[in-house]
Structure 1
Amino acid sequence: MAKQEIGIETKDGRAKAGLFRPAGTARAGVILYMDAFGPRPVLDEMAERLAGDGYAVLVPDLFYRNAPYGPFDAKTAFTVEETKTKLMALVSGTTQDMTIHDSEAFLDALTAEGVDGPVGVVGYCMGGARALNAAASYPNRIVAAASFHGGNLASDAPDSPYRKAASIKARVYVGTAGVDRSFPPEQSARLAEALRVAEVDHVIENYVGVGHGWCVKDHSVYNEAGAERHWKRLTMLFNETLG
């Protein structure tokens, strides 16, 4: 799949994004919310795989307000103090509200590229919460939302997505690492209760034996079997909701 570099005008500037189209007419649009290490070839590969299933996939740079930055090595960035500090500043400086507002522009960008109608979203790591918050904020457009090793999905923070469960109309899938300090069992239970009370069609699945980041090839904890399981769940979700 050919990657098309586009620029998306937001309230705060111009976000770079990669758009990956299928060989034929796109079945629907998908937004892939990046992990903390930013857009890079491995995320392009993941978008290409989804495009191979017939979707037009948008991979926006959520950190565009701070560009240029990086690049970061996903295997070592959090073990080296200098790069860890830079990464944490990028993550904390790009708030959930910023990404929620940006997501309107992302959806408009898909429309402008001729990809209208229902959309699916998927996020990894920091992108997981952003995918769920996008689904809550744009329920008339987003019909499927997935999070993999997403952190703080039901934390005490005021912008934690579980607080917006009542606004979600999408089908939700959450895949969590067996042991993940950013999404411990008490948060999983809190999220499940919020989604159940809100009558959201959802699955929360625990991938026992894998670590935070297992889906993404350049992470130190990448797990091929777990990653393939994630692909099966994700493609099933999108096939059933996006057609």
Structure 2
Amino acid sequence: MKQDIEINAADGIAKATIFRPDNGASAKCGIIFYMDAMGPRQALFDMAQRLADSGYTVLLPDLFYRFGAYGPFDGTSFGDLASREKIMTMLRGTTQEMTKRDGAAFLDTLTAAGATGPVATVGYCMGGARALTAAAAYSDRITAAASFHGGNLASDAEDSPHLLAADIKGRVYIGVAGVDNSFPPEQSARLAEALRIGGVDHMIENYVGMAHGWTVSDHGVYDQTGAERHWKRLLNLFDEALA
């Protein structure tokens, strides 16, 4: 069940969508779904509903709300020069600090929607880093965080998520594309070291043969077998961490 809403977020009104189980069951555990760089759209709605039908209340916020109307974009939009420039402008202008500030409103929205229990985060592409940042900033509420083909999770930037590893109290799962310039092997090693030193229960898994974006159906590199493997890992993580 899909419901479009508006959230009084840190810097204005953010459009968002809440998903509940289609069978009408009550879902006390919540999930914040951090979008990829193409923004909320049908492919992500389908993924969020699948999560909801597994027994969760899912919130999919528009992280680009500060830029007003844009798009629509989909998994093929990055191949268009004008679209790519717009997407990159919004991506660079949506900082990790903004993720921290927005997190309180997102959690309050889940609570108001009936998700009064523990919360998890999941992010794709740019959303992967946001899922980890939120888990660190709100460790008292977020018990698990997952990233799939997330970029720059352990970069040289001052706001790189790996620098927050010691603040994460929940479980972490990182699904890595086999070849991904946005998260090369040296970043994977750096993230693993930070999580280990920080005492975080974590797993970093390499999806050999998968390309960046393999989990999202409207990407040209979508791989159904790899996507189903990602679903198994994700649902197992949430089933255990949110029990």
Over 4 Å off, 4+ runs: none
Match of 2:14 in 1: 15
1:123 aligns with 2:144: no
Match of 1:158 in 2: 158
Distance 1:60 1:83 in 2: 21
How many residues end up aligned between the 2 structures? 241
TM-score (norm 1): 0.98
**Any residues of structure 2 matched to 1:57-76 within 5 Å, and which?**
57-75=58-76
- The superposition leaves residues 123-149 of structure 1 with CA deviations (integer Å, 9 ceiling, x where unpaired) of 000000000000000000000000000
Verify the 8 A CA contact 1:176 1:206 in the aligned structure 2. yes
Match of 1:238 in 2: 238
Deviation at 1:209, TM superposition (A): 0.2
Distance 1:216 1:79 in 2: 16
Distance 1:201 1:63 in 2: 31
Query: Which consecutive unaligned segments of at least 5 residues does structure 1 have?
Result: none
- AA aligned to 1:3 is K
Verify the 8 A CA contact 1:128 1:151 in the aligned structure 2. yes
- AA aligned to 2:212 is H
Verify the 8 A CA contact 1:180 1:212 in the aligned structure 2. yes
TM-score (norm 2): 0.98
- AA aligned to 1:187 is Q
Verify the 8 A CA contact 1:29 1:57 in the aligned structure 2. yes
- The superposition leaves residues 165-191 of structure 1 with CA deviations (integer Å, 9 ceiling, x where unpaired) of 000001000000000000000000000
- AA aligned to 1:49 is R
Match of 2:86 in 1: 86
- The superposition leaves residues 138-163 of structure 1 with CA deviations (integer Å, 9 ceiling, x where unpaired) of 00000000000000000000111000
Match of 1:50 in 2: 51
- AA aligned to 1:189 is A
- AA aligned to 1:46 is M
Distance 2:114 2:150 in 1: 30
- The superposition leaves residues 49-97 of structure 1 with CA deviations (integer Å, 9 ceiling, x where unpaired) of 011111000000000111200001312x222211111110010011111
Verify the 8 A CA contact 1:118 1:143 in the aligned structure 2. yes
Match of 1:25 in 2: 26
Query: Which consecutive unaligned segments of at least 5 residues does structure 2 have?
Result: none
- The superposition leaves residues 35-58 of structure 1 with CA deviations (integer Å, 9 ceiling, x where unpaired) of 000000111100110111110000
Distance 2:8 2:74 in 1: 28
- AA aligned to 2:141 is R
Match of 1:111 in 2: 111
Distance 2:74 2:7 in 1: 26
Deviates more, 1:20-29 or 1:189-198: 20-29
Match of 1:139 in 2: 139
Match of 2:222 in 1: 222
Distance 2:72 2:80 in 1: 14
Deviation at 1:27, TM superposition (A): 4.1
Deviation at 1:10, TM superposition (A): 1.5
Distance 2:46 2:81 in 1: 29
Distance 1:123 1:162 in 2: 15
Distance 2:115 2:88 in 1: 34
Instruction: Please state whether the residue corresponding to 1:178 is helix, strand or coil.
Output: strand
- The superposition leaves residues 89-129 of structure 1 with CA deviations (integer Å, 9 ceiling, x where unpaired) of 01001111111111111001111122112101000000000
**Any residues of structure 2 matched to 1:139-218 within 5 Å, and which?**
139-218=139-218
Distance 1:155 1:196 in 2: 17
Identity %: 64
When the two chains are superposed, the root-mean-square deviation of aligned CA atoms in Å is 0.8
